[in-house]
């Protein structure tokens, strides 16, 4: 029992001592202490005991050291009015000003002056005319305008804001303007984490850099690696491109970006728009890789009517390079392929003198339905024509390397830079490359198609389709091992069907006119099929009507043929070399006898509308709208850190 009583007494004494000690500490924290001064004079003012302290006066409260030339110290109200070379040193922060009114009971320093500066341990400097600093919570609040500059010269300014010293965080609110590494921004509000050199944009944000512009509703910037992140309706633009995305991350040092969700890249120079839900983008030289449901829209004018080709794939890669940076082998093969594509083999190989006089003109509404009775005389060997087309087909083997994953090194035979006035000028024409891989499908009002891979470059302007390609034009189906579509200004001029070429045209639900050959060429004028040529082992099947009823199947074989089409009707067909022709009554034929070997109806694969290929919403251009925005003027930065201009801020000066 005695032991318990002793313990109880000891505990009571300890509690009493602790309470007394806490009271003394609280009293010490409440009162301002004068550490040193040269003089301290007391006088009465409104019955208050006030001391006038002069000569390098120093006060201490809440661990904050207040240094000044002179001060009025009111011990009753527990305030200090410090003037002349005023400084507050607290938790590695230094406040300087002309004068400070310090209210100890509130732990509040009201700092005012011509220039009020708060500098943290990392030498970030916040300047303003008006600042309140709480020595207990280590929080500063500035108002009526202020600007912060870091050690690299980056600046952030706003109408008012806060600095939380313990977590090294600045918050800027209203009329926020920022300059960092050559980029200038305006934002609704901004948070800056000093230790991480990280800024967070809160609210609508606009930015300018070189010839580029950006906007978003939220974002961040990290100064250490000069990278940006923008999300919630992000938008970027430069001289030739406009980019939309839900969010993106951009590294300025590498000129690389990653984009997510609802991505749209508009290339006005090439008249195309790219879409996807994930993309990797590099600015200089431009290179975009599109993943997650990517698609492309290529818009053009046909007969003064706007039309758009939509195509999609599992992955799409897009690149733009100056001509002098393109691999010389790729450029040479593209030019060769373009010249090869411009050749008209029928006119070259079968001249007027070679054509027999019994060539007939026919009338039919179906394409490529041939005439019922044409037997041309033997002419030049059509196999020579097939060999010429083989050359064009073989060029594709080299061109599969047209779009490497890494930038091509400038090779020794590429066009060298001009070194003097007599040198050949460097060709800086921008060349564009498109590579699409797996599950290709495209749609235009007058043309649809599918393939396994697709290549395009603007040197030859040829869309090359490989691995089981098929295209449809109205009621015609074209297939071959590979298909080359020759374009000019995004208008289709010619199509080459290379190896195992096959064309089928629907006559009715049961019958298809068919042409099979080694190679074929389809010519287009103003978007319509104007001529059709077939070369090498040509086989034809077509059906004839009597009184609107199909009664006869005509089967022909020859080395080559050419059909002229006007207003979607075959007007003239010529058959060349070893022409054979047979006619069969329909009622005598089995279903398998009505088709040429190798015929497959692929109508179910045909994209019937553009939304099957791409259901993306097209964003209208924002270039004109955002071009009217005014640049940040940096009024507070100019006031507190010296005169500058938006152009200098934009250039990082």
> Pairing relation of β-strands 482-488 and 476-479?
unpaired
The pLDDT score that the predictor gives to residue 445 is: 84
Burial group, residue 60, by CB count within 10 angstroms (0-12, 13-18, 19+): middle
CA–CA separation, 500 and 467 (whole Å)? 12
CA–CA separation, 207 and 177 (whole Å)? 9
CA–CA separation, 541 and 529 (whole Å)? 20
8-state DSSP, 370: P
Distance of CA 70 to the CA centre of its chain: 60
Burial group, residue 632, by CB count within 10 angstroms (0-12, 13-18, 19+): buried
> Pairing relation of β-strands 48-61 and 33-36?
antiparallel
Closest CA to 250 of 277, 227, 226, 266: 227
Cα–Cα separations (whole angstroms), residue 26 to 61, 70, 76, 77, 305: 11, 27, 16, 16, 84
Quote the tokens at residue 30: 């409440």
The pLDDT score that the predictor gives to residue 416 is: 41
CA–CA separation, 72 and 85 (whole Å)? 15
| Omega before residue 590 within 30° of 0, cis | no
The pLDDT score that the predictor gives to residue 303 is: 56
Strand partners, 200: 191, 220
Give the residue ranges of the chain where pLDDT is below 70: 1-29, 300-306, 351-424, 490, 643-653
The pLDDT score that the predictor gives to residue 378 is: 32
Closest CA to 194 of 172, 216, 158, 163: 163
Cα–Cα separations (whole angstroms), residue 493 to 205, 340, 342, 529: 46, 14, 10, 9
The pLDDT score that the predictor gives to residue 490 is: 66
Cα–Cα separations (whole angstroms), residue 7 to 1, 19, 404: 10, 18, 84
> Pairing relation of β-strands 569-576 and 549-566?
antiparallel
Instruction: Outline where DSSP puts E strands in 196-255.
Output: 198-209, 212-222, 227-237, 241-251
For every residue of 479-511, DSSP letters joined together read: E-SEEEEEEETTEEEEEEEEEEEEEEEESSSS-
Q: What digits encode the pLDDT tens for the residues 283-314?
A: 778 888 999 999 998 876 555 566 788 989 99
Instruction: Outline where DSSP puts E strands in 323-411.
Output: 361-364
CA–CA separation, 261 and 594 (whole Å)? 50
Residues 547, 551, 557, CA angle at the centre, nearest 5°? 125
Closest CA to 575 of 373, 347, 366, 364: 373
pTM: 0.72
The pLDDT score that the predictor gives to residue 464 is: 93
What number of other Cβ atoms are within 10 A of residue 325's Cβ? Answer: 17
Q: Which residue ranges form the domains of the chain, and what is each CATH number?
A: 35-275 (2.60.450.10), 340-397+435-613 (2.60.450.10)
């Amino acid at each position: 029992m005695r032991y318990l009583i002793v313990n109880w007494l000891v505990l009571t004494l300890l509690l009493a001592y602790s309470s007394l000690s806490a009271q003394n500490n609280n009293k010490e924290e409440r009162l301002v202490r004068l550490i040193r001064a040269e003089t301290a004079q007391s006088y009465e003012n409104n019955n208050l005991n006030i001391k006038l302290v002069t000569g390098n006066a120093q006060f201490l409260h809440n661990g904050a050291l207040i240094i000044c030339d002179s001060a009025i110290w009111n011990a009753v109200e527990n305030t200090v009015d410090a003037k002349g070379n005023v400084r507050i040193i607290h938790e590695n922060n230094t406040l300087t000003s002309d004068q400070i009114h310090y209210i100890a009971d509130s732990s509040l320093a009201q700092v005012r002056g011509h220039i009020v500066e708060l500098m943290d341990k990392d030498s970030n400097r916040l300047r303003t005319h008006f600042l309140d600093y709480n020595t207990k919570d280590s929080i500063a609040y500035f108002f009526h305008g202020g600007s912060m500059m870091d050690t690299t010269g980056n600046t952030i300014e706003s109408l008012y804001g806060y600095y939380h010293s313990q977590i090294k965080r600045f918050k800027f609110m209203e009329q926020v303007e920022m300059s960092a590494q050559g980029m200038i921004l305006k934002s609704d509000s901004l948070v800056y984490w000093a230790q991480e050199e990280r800024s967070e944009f809160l609210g609508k944000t606009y930015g300018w850099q070189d010839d580029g512009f950006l906007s978003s509703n939220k974002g961040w910037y990290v100064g250490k690696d000069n990278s940006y992140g923008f999300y919630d309706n992000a938008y970027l633009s430069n001289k030739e491109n406009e980019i939309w995305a839900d969010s993106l991350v951009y590294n300025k040092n590498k000129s690389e970006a990653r984009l997510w969700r609802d991505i749209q890249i508009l290339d006005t120079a090439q008249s195309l728009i790219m879409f996807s839900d994930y993309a990797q983008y590099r600015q200089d030289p431009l290179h975009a890789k599109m993943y997650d449901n990517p698609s492309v829209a290529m818009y053009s004018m046909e007969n003064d009517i706007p039309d758009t080709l939509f195509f999609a794939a599992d992955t799409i890669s897009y690149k733009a390079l100056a001509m002098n940076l393109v691999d010389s082998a790729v450029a040479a093969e593209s030019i060769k392929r373009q010249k090869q594509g411009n050749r008209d083999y029928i006119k070259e190989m079968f001249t007027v003198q070679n054509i027999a006089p019994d060539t007939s003109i026919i009338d039919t509404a179906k394409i490529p339905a041939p005439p019922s009775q044409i037997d041309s005389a033997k002419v030049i060997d059509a196999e020579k024509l097939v060999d010429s087309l083989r050359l064009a087909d073989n060029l594709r083997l080299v061109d599969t390397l047209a779009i490497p994953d890494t930038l091509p090194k400038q090779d020794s035979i590429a066009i060298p830079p001009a070194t003097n006035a007599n040198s050949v000028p460097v060709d800086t024409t921008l060349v564009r490359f498109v590579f699409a891989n797996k599950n290709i499908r495209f749609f235009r009002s007058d043309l649809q198609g599918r393939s396994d891979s697709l290549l395009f470059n603007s040197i030859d302007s040829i869309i090359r389709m490989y691995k089981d390609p098929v295209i449809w034009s109205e009621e015609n189906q074209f297939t071959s091992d590979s298909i080359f579509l020759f374009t000019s200004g995004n208008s289709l001029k010619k199509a080459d069907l290379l190896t195992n070429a096959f064309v089928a045209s629907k006559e009715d639900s049961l019958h298809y006119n068919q042409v099979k050959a080694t190679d074929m060429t389809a010519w287009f004028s103003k978007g319509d099929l104007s001529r059709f040529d077939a070369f090498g082992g040509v086989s034809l099947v077509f059906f004839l009507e009597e009184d609107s009823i199909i009664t006869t199947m005509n089967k022909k074989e020859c080395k080559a043929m050419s059909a002229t089409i006007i207003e979607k009707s075959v007007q003239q067909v010529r058959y060349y070399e070893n022409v054979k022709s047979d006619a069969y009554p329909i009622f005598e034929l089995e279903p398998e006898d009505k088709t040429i070997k190798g015929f497959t109806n692929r109508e179910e694969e045909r994209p019937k509308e553009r939304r099957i290929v791409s259901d993306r919403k097209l964003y209208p251009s924002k270039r004109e709208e955002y071009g009217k925005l005014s640049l940040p003027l940096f009024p507070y930065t100019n006031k507190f850190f010296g005169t500058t201009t938006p152009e200098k801020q934009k250039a990082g000066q």
